[in-house]
Copies of this chain bind each other. A is one copy, B any other.
């Protein structure tokens, strides 16, 4: 329970304040937990924030996997949504920080690979895609890359109107490729 509160507070903190403004103390205070208790669960800043992004990513994956069967347009919309909320912002801050901080780099690289593989698996399943057919795997990878790029475009301004049109068109292209 304490652990979960800390993880949720850590993602919110990272999303709002970035890596520079995110420390174990700040998160402990936000979660209403003593600094000692926070450090018992997460000895280092790197431990706390990588665990937090992983935890929230797993929650999102679980929610996605439990979606009822839907048409492909709804699936694509749900996948794109993965990259527009606080989790994406938090992950982006962690990712960018990791590109300059060696002690964070290898951990975030591993985390990203795990989360990326899982998201890909879920996308294949929800889209009912047959990856043994040529081009299908790359179609889905490119779709997820586009979703990540759309997330980035949404960072500073609300890009929702443009995004909706792009997603509609790319959904049609994906449908054609998966048929």
Give the interface of A toward B (CB within 8 A). Answer: 16-18, 20-21, 89, 92-93, 95-100, 105, 108-109, 112, 116, 135, 138-139, 141-142, 144-153, 155-157, 162, 165-170, 172-174, 176-177
A to B CB contacts below 8 Å, 7 in the list: A92-B96, A92-B152, A95-B155, A96-B155, A109-B157, A142-B146, A142-B169
From DSSP, what is the main secondary structure of chain A's interface residues?
A: helix
Contact of B21 with A100 in the complex, beta carbons under 8 Å: yes
| Residues in chain B near residue A100, CB distance under 8 A | 16-18, 20-21
4 closest A-B pairs by CB:
A149-B149, A148-B149, A138-B169, A145-B149
Bound-state CA distance A105–B157 (Å) is: 10
| Residues in chain B near residue A92, CB distance under 8 A | 96, 152
The answer, among B17, B108, B146, B156, for a CB contact under 8 Å with A149, is B146
A27 to chain B, nearest CB (A): 16
Bound-state CA distance A116–B150 (Å) is: 13
A139 to chain B, nearest CB (A): 6
Bound-state CA distance A98–B157 (Å) is: 11
| Residues in chain B near residue A162, CB distance under 8 A | 141
Contact of A99 with B157 in the complex, beta carbons under 8 Å: no
A55 to chain B, nearest CB (A): 20
Q: Can you name the residue of chain B whose Cβ is closest to the Cβ of A155?
A: B99
Bound-state CA distance A38–B42 (Å) is: 43
Bound-state CA distance A141–B161 (Å) is: 13
